[in-house]
Amino acid sequence: MAVLARTSSDANTGSAAKLAGEVAKADPWAMINKIKDANTDSTNVSGANNEVGVLAIGTASSDAGARSSADLAAAVALKAMTKGGQFNANTDAEVVKGATVSAVNKVLGILDLIIRKTVLKKLEEVGDKVKEIQYSETAGEATQGGIT
């Protein structure tokens, strides 16, 4: 995708709109899986079958494409969140910014959900252990309900 290219001469007309469309189609859970399983390579990127890690840090040419919408959207999110991540769009900078924000928000939304579920699960475990301790104290036992 030309918008992932490092030089503005590689960014062609209409690529920003295509990027926005692909980001909109991408499934957030698929994006997370693509990021989790990404292999990074900082080589020159060309061809239409690239995965997220290569697209995010490789040097993309104007013919660089992604395996799937999820690969492209995840690469956009990763590139946007890195310090040196840059995008190029000759005429559609606002469209690229919008697509970038959308991709990042999709990833952060799923990460938020994963963190919340993990915290709730751990709080339930702590609550169960506290109940065991309270039960032991009210029963007059010296032990802590089997906690070692």
Query: CA 5, CA 11: separation in Å to the nearest integer?
Result: 6
Residue 62's pLDDT is: 61
| Number of Cβ within a 10 Å radius of residue 74 | 31
Residue 104, CA distances (Å) to 48, 57, 140 in order: 23, 16, 54
pLDDT tens digit sequence for 3-45: 565 444 445 567 788 888 889 999 999 999 988 888 776 666 6
Quote the tokens at residue 125: 């475990």
Closest CA to 100 of 48, 30, 23: 23
pTM: 0.66
Stretch (H or E) spanning 60: strand 59-60
**Close Cβ partners of 70 (under 8 Å, ≥ 6 residues apart):** 26, 27, 30, 31, 33, 34, 52
